[in-house]
Amino acid sequence: PITPGELLCLGSSLAFSGLFYYLYRKKARMVARIQEAPKLQVDDNLPALVSAADGRCLPYVALEGIVLPAKAALTSHYHEGLQGVIQKLLLKEHRLIWNSLARSW
């Protein structure tokens, strides 16, 4: 005989497994899209490509090119000769979604 507590545990375990599998597949699709992103060079043709794209936006592209530091390049403490820069400007778009449960945007 199966007790109601065991059924509750089994049901919640299956629900959580389904939820985590759904989240895993969603993130795996996103990673696949990012890995298949076209690689573009930072050159004089880039503004023309952006203006010719739909909505003047290129979704998921990898930009390759040489960047110059604003002041001084960062050097690695762990690897000789490895340098990097910090990106100062980050554009993040937020979209509003109505949450009917909380009745808020």
Query: Within a domain: residue 71?
Result: yes
Q: What was the pLDDT predicted at 88?
A: 67
Query: Within a domain: residue 30?
Result: yes
**Average confidence (pLDDT) over 52-61:** 83
Q: Coil, strand or helix: which one is 39?
A: strand
Query: Within a domain: residue 101?
Result: no
- Which residue range is the domain that position 74 belongs to? 4-84
Number of domains in the chain: 1
Beta bridge partners, 64, equal: 41
- Look at residue 45 and tell me whether its pLDDT is greater than 70: yes
Question: What is the per-residue pLDDT across 11-39, written as a single tens digit (0 to 9) for each?
Answer: 999 999 999 999 999 999 999 988 888 88
In the numeric block, the tokens 């899209």 are attached to 33
Query: Within a domain: residue 34?
Result: yes
Query: Within a domain: residue 78?
Result: yes
**Average confidence (pLDDT) over 61-68:** 82
- Can you read off the two tokens belonging to residue 79? 């690897």
pLDDT-based confidence at 89, cuts 50/70/90?
A: low
Sign of CA dihedral 75, 76, 81, 82: negative
What pTM value is reported for the model? Answer: 0.48
